[in-house]
Amino acid sequence: MSSENNGKVWFITGASRGFGLLWATAALERGDRVAVTARDTASLTHLSQKFGDAVLALQLDVTDREATFGAVNQANTHFGRLDVVLNNAGYGHQGTVEEASEEDVRAQMETNYFGALWVTQAALPLFRAQGSGHLLAVSSVLGVFSIPTFGIYSASKYALEGLFDALNQEVKGFGINVTLIEPAGYATDFGNPSSAKFSVQNPVYTSVRDALSAMAEGYAYGDPAATSPAILKLVDSLNPPLRLGLGETAVSDMTATSQNKITTWEAWRDVSAAAQG
């Protein structure tokens, strides 16, 4: 797998914690320059103090389309170009489908889906003009399959998957690469109040939640720090994949899901064929 790195310029949303902070730090430590965004720039001060002019800290709520375009263009003007635009901002809503309020669902989609869409739309003209660029979005294994109480979160990631699948086909001719990053479970702060929100629980689903908790017991969560070399290898690749699983269980679980789908489609092939008319 051939690769290259000539000192890249990154734009990373949601860089104050979790994967965004880890990957921004890894890029900066190897000499890249990074525009980092967060809703509160105070959470980014330590990066500016450590890495100086290699960091551009920007306040941004990705649900604000106009502000998102402004931030992307400001970063491009400041550094003279952008090579890697990474959609990382997001959170996980938890609750059964019946429990989810309209506010719950709209808020989830505004951040995880529309936020990534606005960043992407802002970056594309810049990438086209320079004839290169790599657009990335943090999806999830739950963008390939879902589990109980994560339906709303999965819906936002399924939407992102469809968006980037089409995008990849649309922009290849402009020298633009597109990748969906699909992590399995990692020991990040995904479950804390800043990264997760919860619907009001209906007691009729207590057994569903208990079964999910039992299933999660003993789960081998990945080490977030171990993902940084994979991301650097990804952005340095001359032929990056459309989808990259992070974690051994990501590959095995997504493969099993795909195989189950194929088995079902084949079992129902005659019924599907008859419906052709």
Residue keyed to tokens 């099993």: 256
Instruction: Compute the distance between CA of residue 21 and CA of residue 89 in angstroms, rounded to an integer.
Output: 11
Query: Could you tell me whether strands 55-59 and 33-38 are parallel, antiparallel, or unpaired per DSSP bridges?
Result: parallel
Residues with active-site annotation: 139, 153, 157
Helix (H), strand (E) counts: the chain: 10, 9
